[in-house]
Structure 1
Amino acid sequence: MTIATRRGVIGLLSAGAALLSSRVAPAAETQAASSPADDACILTPQSESGPYYLDPRLVRADIAEGRPGVPLGLRLRVIEAGACTPISGARVDVWHCDARGIYSGYPGQGDNHKLDQSGKTYLRGTQLADAAGWAGFTTIYPGWYAGRATHIHFRVFVDDATVLTGQTFFPEALNEFIYTNVPDYTGRPQQRLVINANDRVATEADPDHRAYCAIKEERDRYIATLTLAVSRKPAPPVEMPTGKLPPAPWIKDRLAALVPGLKRSPF
């Protein structure tokens, strides 16, 4: 996507997002505005690492590697739970799928599960938190794949020990607008059936939405921010459940699930 095209897309998205926000603010932003400041000091919930983690040992801020998509800046702040003090030097790994729901580094990717992306490293990287606890990445807005809501994975290390493995989720109204209007994300053979409201990881691991990111618009990109409150005690990554999982609940009222505040059940 060229710079000119990116600016055009951001303009289109800004108009759509403004229309949505004129009706109701995204859930993450609403919560951030109404929550006490010390809420950020409560432990960020652990969630499963998923099947696609790998450590390519790439210490870099720009992880896009030219993958097409809406530009996104991701800013994660690592603090100690309770004390609320930043943890300088904490290692933060992130990884996520591209605009078409494809992960680098693994076979069996894509809607037909036939793409082999072994050996590739796009949309993966590591940063060390600065003195204020911030680690920043330049990437693209993540796409979706069957069975999961939109998310970005993260893992935090302190003194070489894993202290947090989790996922951050995005406002569904913005997800829907991007996926139905931006060519890099459109034209998929399947319908997106799993969203935040019926995603097993989102609803079971994070019912209080503590790992939902806040989104703001800049001139040529979106910025997603999230504070990660951790304990310094090692916390082994949560593995995916084994066996056949129950299907996600069926969403009967999609609008109610996408736009918070409508006061009606999506199920």
Structure 2
Amino acid sequence: MTDTSHVPAEVPPNVAGRPAGRRTVLFGTGAAVAGLAVGACTTTEPSPTATATPTATATATGDVCTLTKELTEGPYYLDGQLVRADITDGKAGIPLKLSLTVVDADTCEPLPDALVELWHSDALGEYSGFVGRNGHDEPDNGTFLRGGVLTDSSGVAAITTVYPGWYRGRCIHIHVKVHTNVTPTSDGHFTGGQEIHTGQLFFDEKVTDAVARVTPYSTNSVTRTTLAQDSIYDEGGATSGLLTLTGTTSTGYTGTLTLGVER
């Protein structure tokens, strides 16, 4: 049985469409990555003996789209994240480039200028702003592996990060929020907007098995919780949050997913 005695209680999902109030997001820099059109993809094998075939979600088929499942925000969210295309902040790990397409679940139309923000743990399972919760003592600048970007005209948010690690009681995952109607300010910040989606992104176990054998992930001494053991993944991640991954541990991975949201 997985030890969850040190895991903070998860909080209920946010209500879609609530105002963001006085929320402020810092504006950073970074090169954008080319977007991917809405549609399913086939996963590239991470090693010669394993094949990962995640299910793509919210793809347009006969003008019918799938609403991506809302999942818990969790205890590690921090307001005021940097808006930037690269959230790595120098963290060690296998490169991961994400291409997330945001579409209106009712019309299948892409949503441009939606703010997509992500946050996740490093290879040792630590979140910036909360370092030490997974038993590791390391520098904490409060910003590593946090941030987000505005979607382009095709509804694509392209973000560069590293493959996440794991901590007690949870499978490997990335947290995501989507906001619309954010307002840029003269000093390079964003305020206001509507929070329309809170969810999580998940990773195929065969890919994660390969990653877990590579440094620095192999130095994480915490027992890893699998997708099958994770109750939050079971709540809806299997049908609406599993990334399509291509690449290898040596070259890095590209992850794609379409998020169907309600405005």
1:155 aligns with 2:187: no
More strand by share: 2
Letter in 1 for 2:216: D
Query: In structure 2, what is the Cα distance between the partners aligned to 1:196 and 1:138?
Result: 23
Q: Give the % identical residues.
A: 38
* Contact 1:45 1:210 (8 Å CA) reproduced: yes
Secondary structure of 2:219's counterpart equals coil
Query: In structure 1, what is the Cα distance between the partners aligned to 2:60 and 2:262?
Result: 19
RMSD: 2.5
Answer 1 or 2: higher relative contact order, Cα 8 Å, separation at least 6. Answer: 2
1:173 aligns with 2:212: no
* Contact 1:106 1:116 (8 Å CA) reproduced: no
- Residue in structure 2 matched with residue 83 of structure 1 by the alignment: 107
Residue 137 of structure 1 is aligned with which of 154, 159, 166? 159
The alpha-carbon deviation at position 183 of structure 1 amounts to 1.3
* Contact 2:56 2:257 (8 Å CA) reproduced: no
1:17 aligns with 2:47: yes
Q: How many residues align?
A: 207
* Contact 1:49 1:166 (8 Å CA) reproduced: yes
After TM superposition, the structure 1 stretch with the greater mean CA deviation from structure 2, 144-153 or 100-109, is 100-109
- Residue in structure 2 matched with residue 38 of structure 1 by the alignment: 61
- Residue in structure 2 matched with residue 249 of structure 1 by the alignment: none
- Residue in structure 2 matched with residue 214 of structure 1 by the alignment: 244
**CA separation of 1:36/1:122 partners in 2, compared to 1, >3 Å: closer, same or farther?**
closer
Letter in 2 for 1:167: Q
The alpha-carbon deviation at position 120 of structure 1 amounts to 1.9
Query: In structure 1, what is the Cα distance between the partners aligned to 2:178 and 2:72?
Result: 13
* Contact 1:93 1:155 (8 Å CA) reproduced: yes
Note the residue ranges of structure 2 that are not aligned, 5 or more in a row.
Answer: 1-43, 182-192
**CA separation of 1:164/1:27 partners in 2, compared to 1, >3 Å: closer, same or farther?**
same
Query: In structure 2, what is the Cα distance between the partners aligned to 1:184 and 1:90?
Result: 34
Query: In structure 2, what is the Cα distance between the partners aligned to 1:188 and 1:70?
Result: 14
> TM-score, structure 1 length as denominator?
0.71
The alpha-carbon deviation at position 116 of structure 1 amounts to 7.7
Note the residue ranges of structure 1 that are not aligned, 5 or more in a row.
Answer: 1-13, 233-267
> TM-score, structure 2 length as denominator?
0.72
